[in-house]
Chains A and B, each alone.
Chain A
């Protein structure tokens, strides 16, 4: 089974500053990678996904992530955050060809400070 680590449980950042949310996974097999955002009392919304090809993936709301196979990482970045980005962010991994199960990280709470 996969292990997905989000090292930062809470990240406070000032408005308009850049942010990086870190995600590392354990598998040595080929994977699909996802970042989701969750607002209070809501379900998960897909921000972006890596399936294959270019290692730099662009998503919605100005977010992007870079897949680094050698470091088994998929860090999420945004060059300038807004108040509305305050939410919980989850990294998820799915193993290619091994069913549909998603393995989720423990989440990072992003708080944008005005």
Chain B
């Protein structure tokens, strides 16, 4: 149980275009989803926290107009990187937490974004 999927696993886009990454909880309802960014050989950096039906809460330094997060249902959250630039190239990981005790997050397999 507690499986989280991400789509796509890899995406290459041209500079200036937008790309959407989906995060789905497959067998549970995710009341809260988190989006992380990971640079090579570094730790995960929390970008934002989203609760179903509410606006996402962004961490300091993360541009909310550039990284659009939508958590429209209890099983789906999306991250849209708008007007992508090469410096946005990174590994993006989502995680989800269910209605149960607040202490556990289930992580997706990640999406490798390359902006050319």
Partner-B contacts on A (CB < 8 A): 32, 36, 41-45, 49, 51, 88, 90, 94, 96, 99-102, 104-107, 109
- CB distance A106 to B43 under 8 Å? yes
Q: Given the known inter-chain contacts A44-B93, A105-B43, please indicate yes or no for A100 contacting B105, CB distance below 8 A.
A: yes
| A-B residue pairs, 8 tightest by C-beta | A43-B109, A44-B107, A32-B103, A43-B107, A43-B110, A104-B43, A106-B43, A100-B102
- CB distance B42 to A100 under 8 Å? no
- CB distance B104 to A49 under 8 Å? yes
29 chain-A/chain-B pairs, Cβ below 8 angstroms = A32-B103, A36-B107, A41-B91, A41-B112, A42-B110, A43-B4, A43-B93, A43-B107, A43-B110, A44-B93, A44-B107, A45-B107, A49-B104, A90-B44, A94-B103, A100-B32, A100-B34, A100-B49, A100-B102, A101-B34, A101-B49, A102-B46, A102-B95, A102-B105, A104-B44, A106-B42, A106-B43, A107-B42, A109-B41
Chain A residues with CB under 8 Å of B104's CB are 49
Choose among A32, A36, A44, A107 the residue with the greatest number of B CB atoms under 10 Å from its CB: A44
- CB distance A90 to B43 under 8 Å? yes
Q: Mark B14-29, 1 if CB is under 8 A from A, else 0.
A: 0000000000000000
Q: How far is the CA of A105 from the CA of B44 in the complex (A)?
A: 8
Q: How far is the CA of A107 from the CA of B112 in the complex (A)?
A: 19
Q: Does B97 contact A (CB under 8 A)?
A: yes
B5 (CB) vs chain A CBs: closest residue: A43
B103 (CB) vs chain A CBs: closest residue: A32
B93 (CB) vs chain A CBs: closest residue: A43
Distance in angstroms from A16 CB to nearest chain B CB is 27
Q: How far is the CA of A51 from the CA of B104 in the complex (A)?
A: 10
Q: Given the known inter-chain contacts A41-B112, A43-B109, A94-B103, please indicate yes or no for A100 contacting B93, CB distance below 8 A.
A: no
